[in-house]
Amino acid sequence: MTATIIDGNVIANRMREEIAQDAQRFKEQYGYSPGLGVVLAGDNPASQQYVRMKQNACKKAGIESVSHIMTKDSTQAEVEAAVAQLNQDPKIHGILVQLPLPQQVDEESILRQVSLDKDVDGFHPINIGMLGMKGRDPLFTPATPTGCMVLLNEIGATIEGANAVVVGRSNIVGLPMALMLIKANATVTVVHSRTKNMPDILKQADIVIAAIGKPNFIKGHWLKPGSVVIDVGTNRVDDPESEKGYKWVGDVDLESAQNVVSAITKVPGGVGPMTITMLMHNTMKAAWRIEQAKQR
């Protein structure tokens, strides 16, 4: 079997065109563009790069962004003040606090202070709590797992009743991913660093979501023939053959997996572009909600 390689760029680009049209409609109706506020504290080059990519994509779609770029020595009070300012700004509809924050800043406390109406990353404890509860729906769900759900739906994967295994249990990917799959009626197993028999568990999985940050860790022979794999992992490895001297690979060993599974995402170009797209989607949702509430 040779797997279908899922190209997130194609799906993301189509969605971004729709988002750009939506942003245009918003501007025509309210006289100004939807707005995203960004808080970036510290000098982590990956975080700086993510923020740049998110802001460029927003700009292209007609979503304005305002940034609070702060040093790695920023205090709790300074980060809180940045969030408070964005909460109060009537032209900001979504707030993105780029994680991780510097060590001296209490991340949970900061995420709690983001207005629920503007929590487009879906990391506010109330939104995460609602995601975990039966019969409740959060206002916003985190961008990366939401992007994974869109990819599964786009390829026509059957989620209801499927055995889904989520590898990794981080607050930003694995945990919300598992909650979203439970809501979609999958039978979900979460695997993490203390799990003893990962290959045996993966062998039962119709759907695998890999989010551990270990290059090529999951081997093809661990996977169930015909399963669907969404590889969130984005790992930089040395590659003397490439001009840059490195390349990006996922958590799943693509070479061995593509002969076993029915579909697997590209890395890069699979989940990554979907993450940014879902942030933009959430920002549009927030913008319409906030403006419509002002009319009432």
Output the six-digit token pair for 83. 């969030």
Residues 6+ apart with CB under 8 A from 142: 121, 122, 123, 128, 172, 173, 176
Q: Which of 23, 128, 211, 264 contacts ligand NAP by CB under 6 A?
A: 211
Between 22 and 251, whose beta carbon lies closer to ligand NAP? 251
Alpha carbon distances (Å) from 240 to 243, 245, 253: 8, 5, 19
Q: Which of 2, 88, 193, 242 contacts ligand NAP by CB under 6 A?
A: 193
189 within 8 A of 227, measured Cβ to Cβ: no
Q: At its nearest, how many Å lie between ligand NAP and the CB of residue 274?
A: 7
234 binds ligand NAP (CB under 6 A): yes
Alpha carbon distances (Å) from 67 to 43, 54, 85, 108: 15, 11, 11, 20
103 binds ligand NAP (CB under 6 A): no
170 binds ligand NAP (CB under 6 A): yes
Residues 6+ apart with CB under 8 A from 150: 11, 15, 274, 278
Q: At its nearest, how many Å lie between ligand NAP and the CB of residue 5?
A: 16
Reduced to 3 states, what is the DSSP secondary structure of residue 248? strand
144 binds ligand NAP (CB under 6 A): yes
Question: Of the listed 22, 121, 231, 251, which one is catalytic?
Answer: 121
Q: At its nearest, how many Å lie between ligand NAP and the CB of residue 151?
A: 11
15 binds ligand NAP (CB under 6 A): no
257 within 8 A of 220, measured Cβ to Cβ: yes
Q: At its nearest, how many Å lie between ligand NAP and the CB of residue 279?
A: 10
In whole angstroms, what is the distance from residue 57 CA to residue 39 CA? 17
* Residues 242-281: x where in contact with ligand NAP by CB under 6 A, - otherwise, as a string: -----------------------------xx--x------
Q: At its nearest, how many Å lie between ligand NAP and the CB of residue 50?
A: 8
252 within 8 A of 216, measured Cβ to Cβ: yes
Residue 137, strand partner residues: none
- Catalog residues that contact ligand NAP under the rule CB under 6 A: 144, 167-170, 172-174, 191-195, 211-214, 232-235, 271-272, 275
Active site residue ranges: 54, 98, 121
